[in-house]
Amino acid sequence: MTAERQNTLRTPAPKPGVPQWKTGKPDAMLAAAVDQARRELETITPAGTIGEHLGAKREEDRVVTHLFASRLAGYVGWQWFAVLTRNSRSKVVTVSEIGLLPSDDAVLAPPWVPWSERVRPEDVEALQAEEAEAAGAADAGNPAPAEDAVPSEDAGSTDDAGAPLADDAASGAEEAAVESAEAIGGSEQDYADDAEDADEATP
C-alpha cells in the first residue's frame, strides 16, 4: 500500500457543511485586517455574540477569510466568518462576504435521506412480524363458534328461544283432551254397571 493511500485512509471524511480550507500563507495585508473584519460582523450580529479571533485562512490570491468564535445561543461550535479581498497592488481592503459557518465541533443535523432509501429490509421484516403477531392475538380473542347441537327425535321442535312450536303445542293439547275424555267416559261406564248390579240385588 502506498503512502498516499495510507494517508487517505487515515484522514476522516469531512462533515457536511464544514468548509475545507486551502493550505498556504494568506495575504499579509488582509490577514492583518482583523478589526475591520470584526466591525463588519457587528453589522449583522451584536458584538457580544462574536468571540475571540480564531485565525485567517487563505482562499485564493488576495482573498482571506477571518474566523471568530460564536457566542450565539444554540450555535456552540460554529464560527463567524468575514471574507476580505483587495485588488492587485491596492491597499484598500474590501469585504466580500460575512456570515456563520459550522466547524468540526458543531452540532449538525444528519444528512437528509429520501424515504425510499431510509426503509431497510429489516424494517419491512419487523413490520410484517408485528402485523402477524397482531393478527394472531385477534384470532385468540375471538374463538370460532361451536357447532349447533342436533335435536333428538323424541324432543319436540322448538323455536330459537327454546319454546315449543305451535303445531307441537296443539298436538299435545289434543292428546291431553283425549286422555281426559277417556277418563271421564270410563268413570261413567263404571257408575252405570254399579247401578245395574244394585237393581238386580233389590228384592
Residue by residue, what is the 3-state secondary structure of 95-149? EEEEEEEECCCCCCCCCCCCHHHHCCHHHHHHHHHHHHHHHHHHHHHCCCCCCCC
Q: Which residues contact 151 (CB under 8 A, 6 or more apart)?
A: 157, 158
Q: Which residues contact 44 (CB under 8 A, 6 or more apart)?
A: 98, 99
**Best CA proximity match to 53, nearest among 61, 63, 64:** 64
CB atoms inside a 10 Å sphere around CB 156 = 13
Confidence of residue 150 (pLDDT cuts 50, 70, 90): low
Q: 61-82 pLDDT, tens per residue?
A: 899 999 999 999 889 889 999 9
Residue 158's pLDDT is 56
Sheet with 94-102: list strands edge to edge: 50-60, 63-70, 78-85, 94-102
Phi then psi dihedrals of residue 139, to 5 deg: -65, -35
> Average per-residue pLDDT in the chain?
75
Cross-strand bridge partners of residue 81 = 67, 99
Write the DSSP symbol of residue 90: -
Q: Work out the angle at residue 21's Cα, subtended by the Cα atoms of residues 16 and 23, and round it to the nearest 5 degrees.
A: 150
Residue 186's pLDDT is 52
Question: Is the C-alpha dihedral spanning 17, 22, 26, 27 positive or negative?
Answer: negative
Counting beta carbons within 10 angstroms of the beta carbon of residue 18, is it exposed (0 to 12), middle (13 to 18) or buried (19 or more)? middle
SS3 81: strand
Residue 8's pLDDT is 45
With pLDDT > 90 as the criterion, what percentage of the chain qualifies?
Answer: 28
17 close to 112: Cβ distance less than 8 angstroms: no
Locate 187 and state its grid cell.
268413570
More confident residue, 85 or 104: 85
